[in-house]
Structure 1
Amino acid sequence: MSFLEQMDEVFKSKWKFEREMPIQSQMIPLLLEGKDVVAESPTGTGKTLAYVLPILQMVQGSKQQTQALIMSPSQELSMQIVNVIREWINGTDITVTQLIGGANMQRQIEKLKKKPTIVVGTPGRIVELVKAKRLKMHEIKHIVLDEGDQLLSRDYRVIVKDLIDSANPERQVVVVSATITDEIELVAKRMMDEPVRLKVSLDDMPLVGNVTHSFIKTEIRNKTDLLRGLSHLPSIRALAFMNNVDQLRMKELKLQYNEAPIAVLYSNMSKFERQQTLEDFRKGKIHILIATDLAARGLDIEGLTHVIHVDIPHTIEQYLHRSGRTGRAGQDGEVLTLLTYPDEKTYRKLTKGLKPVQKIYYKGKLMEGNAKTKDSKPNSPKSKSKKGRK
């Protein structure tokens, strides 16, 4: 039985997939051949396993040497990748170590002394360990840039290039992301050896659920109260996005004061705070998790019923990145935008061809609205109190 046939059996038994996902069936053979790959596939379509499985085939756990490096822009994504790898290496001699900022560096150094087969981490901490001569890049033959569009952006580009250049001359480099622009593709090619370009769209996916795109017309000052009301819906489990960290912190204070089942996630939280917040969300103690794009980058949370755009995205790519977190693996989902009048023109451009549905939040329910509805009344908690005084 070939490796792909074995994986097909594993997908059916372990992951309950009818078959491997398109990005996996395309990418795995290429990586096993040693090719460099630039792969684009929507959020939640199996990119992690598409590179993890062939790497596990190519590394040697019995060899006391770090052979593969997987980089991601966020601590959460790094931790998720490590958890996936740990599940697949159970019972083998392959080992993995996590190298992220915010964690104890000395403990990471001690783990590196044991020569883990694979290391996963964020660029800043990896550079620190390389400069401290604790991580030997010249031994690494496989490098993966997960969320490559972020890692090859201007913020990380020089750091990442230096790390790749210092790796083994016969290295294999893989770049994966949900969106890859022409600029990022060009930058990637300069660091790679004749990479194969792969692109999977939602139309190629066999298990895409029915995703509704909707909006609630509201005013900026009413967004916090609206979020609080939505958080009390019994069936909602939402990841909400804001564009600005400062505004996110202000909203956190207002929501904490009113004890809503809502939490926030931002990049400069401590490792413990972030882990605890995500755990509470997964357990259902929190119904809405509000984050910036960077803080939520790569988060893999199963069973999201909604993605909420508290702030409207700046680009179509950003809208797709956020929206792709619901409606995974055949499940239905909803992408809800809290829409203010100044953002209506931008919203029409972002949702062109998607036929978004207008909704209202009224008397504790989220329901379809219409153009004649006076949005300020049903969507504003103040309207209820006025009614009650009559």
Structure 2
Amino acid sequence: MSVIDLLNESLQQKWKFKSTTKVQEEMIPAMLEGKDIVAESPTGSGKTLAYVLPMLHKLDGSKKRTQGLIVAPSQELAMQIVEVIREWSAGTNITVQQLIGGANMARQIEKLKKKPTIVVGTPGRLNDLARTRKLKLNEIEMIVLDECDQLLSRDYRVMVKSFIEGASPNRQVALVSATITDEIQLVASRMLKDPVRIKIKPEEMIKVGKVVHSFVKVEERDKTDALRKLANIEGIRGLAFINHLDQLLLKEMKLKYKNAKVVSLHAEMSKEQRKKSLEEFRNGEARILLATDLAARGLDIEGLTHVIHVDLPHTVEQYLHRSGRTGRAGADGEVLTLLSYKDEKNYRKLLRQVGQKPVQKVIYKGQLIEGNANTIAKKVRDPHDF
């Protein structure tokens, strides 16, 4: 029997996938039983439906009160979750409202008066609405923290704890993320009641594409030009990570000046600007999307061929979080690092910890090919050999 058979008829009829994923198999029954959960599962493994479907099964849209709360660290992830809920709740009496920063608060307050069954929001806006009692936390029966490693970091921890403590005494709480550190696990155990721990390894996912881990050696000052060249390569759809916002803005300005096919996503953009960037990237007008880690949290972009580490990640968790966005749903992908000489030692250490042997590549004549400087020298010397 499939875990989908545990859900109501409406949800069963909407299920069109051939099979469930490992995290869905483990998480759906536990949520239906009302247990608190800490679930660690790779990016692209079906975590959203693993908690959305039990919520839609358990919550009662005929009761005029807000019963479900989903917290996400970024506006984009919150909006994606809302779209999933709208799709799966269509034709039922369950309603959903997004409560994100950057949107009109007065309008959100008006919509809250209609008592949506589920609200999905970012921590700052949810905190503002809860403090002014516009969002009545004591009525909340189910809470999900998506990307919980981010939400339970020191930046948001106090806020998020107040959401959980302010909810109904009989609340159910589920935490999900691609990576959960020991620190986050400890914090979670203090906030939750005897939580079920679910951990899915990448090899347990179905339809995992082949992912190549590669690097191009480049001077720090030449990284912007390397991005320009990559943006000119036919067939590339790359999500490029930059560690600091000021560097992202500088690179974006230089690349746009040279008419490179790039767009960006960062915290200082308005909701409309962010939406426009994502649309241009999704429809192929731009080949590379420049982003910071926070801005790209939870982004689900189909057909992503490359994850590009413009700046080396600081931790293995950060490397895996970024890299998990390619090679999804059976498609192959590539994780490319623009490797400056000062970062070589740390890069080798990271890749050993990840368990990957990287391939060196070069950008040559509008192509990304396997090789190094000697490869190019040989091509120039003996062009007919290639």
Query: SS state of the match for residue 294, structure 2?
Result: helix
Cα deviation, residue 295, structure 1: 0.6
Q: What is the aligned partner in structure 2 of residue 218 from structure 1?
A: 218
Contact 1:316 1:350 in 2 (8 A): yes
Q: What is the aligned partner in structure 2 of residue 290 from structure 1?
A: 290
Q: Distance in 2 between matches of 1:15 and 1:325?
A: 24
Contact 2:71 2:145 in 1 (8 A): yes
Query: SS state of the match for residue 300, structure 2?
Result: coil
| 1:344 to 1:15, Cα distance in 2 relative to 1, 3 A | farther
Contact 1:7 1:20 in 2 (8 A): no
Q: Does 1:21 align with 2:21?
A: yes
Count of aligned pairs: 378
| 1:120 to 1:12, Cα distance in 2 relative to 1, 3 A | closer
* Fraction of identical pairs, as percent: 65
Gaps of 5+ in 1: 384-390
Give a deviation string over 1:6-37, Cα, whole Å, max 9, x none: 77999999676431010000000000000000
Q: What is the aligned partner in structure 2 of residue 72 from structure 1?
A: 72
- The TM-score normalised by the length of structure 1 is 0.93
Contact 2:5 2:12 in 1 (8 A): no
What amino acid maps onto 1:136 in structure 2? Answer: K
| 1:327 to 1:14, Cα distance in 2 relative to 1, 3 A | farther
Cα deviation, residue 234, structure 1: 1.2
Cα deviation, residue 5, structure 1: 3.0
Q: Distance in 1 between matches of 2:176 and 2:249?
A: 31
Contact 1:97 1:111 in 2 (8 A): yes
What amino acid maps onto 1:90 in structure 2? Answer: A
Q: Does 1:354 align with 2:356?
A: yes
| 1:207 to 1:139, Cα distance in 2 relative to 1, 3 A | same
Contact 2:364 2:376 in 1 (8 A): no
Contact 1:11 1:19 in 2 (8 A): no
Q: Distance in 2 between matches of 1:250 and 1:329?
A: 34
Cα deviation, residue 372, structure 1: 3.5
User: What does 1:307-346 correspond to in 2, within 5 Å?
Assistant: 307-346=307-346
Q: What is the aligned partner in structure 2 of residue 387 from structure 1?
A: none
Q: What is the aligned partner in structure 1 of residue 183 from structure 2?
A: 183
| 1:72 to 1:149, Cα distance in 2 relative to 1, 3 A | same
Q: What is the aligned partner in structure 2 of residue 365 from structure 1?
A: 367
| 1:98 to 1:260, Cα distance in 2 relative to 1, 3 A | same
Q: Distance in 2 between matches of 1:273 and 1:194?
A: 43
User: What does 1:112-123 correspond to in 2, within 5 Å?
Assistant: 112-123=112-123
Contact 1:62 1:94 in 2 (8 A): yes
User: What does 1:146-157 correspond to in 2, within 5 Å?
Assistant: 146-157=146-157
Q: What is the aligned partner in structure 1 of residue 170 from structure 2?
A: 170
Q: Distance in 2 between matches of 1:186 and 1:294?
A: 23
Give a deviation string over 1:251-275, Cα, whole Å, max 9, x none: 1110111111101111121111001
Query: SS state of the match for residue 351, structure 1?
Result: helix
Query: SS state of the match for residue 213, structure 2?
Result: strand
Cα deviation, residue 66, structure 1: 0.3
Query: SS state of the match for residue 25, structure 2?
Result: helix
Query: SS state of the match for residue 249, structure 1?
Result: helix
Contact 1:12 1:19 in 2 (8 A): no
| 1:123 to 1:364, Cα distance in 2 relative to 1, 3 A | same
Q: What is the aligned partner in structure 2 of residue 83 from structure 1?
A: 83
Q: What is the aligned partner in structure 1 of residue 63 from structure 2?
A: 63
Give a deviation string over 1:218-261, Cα, whole Å, max 9, x none: 11111111111111111000100011111001111101111111
- The TM-score normalised by the length of structure 2 is 0.94
Q: Distance in 1 between matches of 2:219 and 2:181?
A: 33
Query: SS state of the match for residue 239, structure 2?
Result: strand
Q: What is the aligned partner in structure 2 of residue 44 from structure 1?
A: 44
User: What does 1:102-251 correspond to in 2, within 5 Å?
Assistant: 102-251=102-251
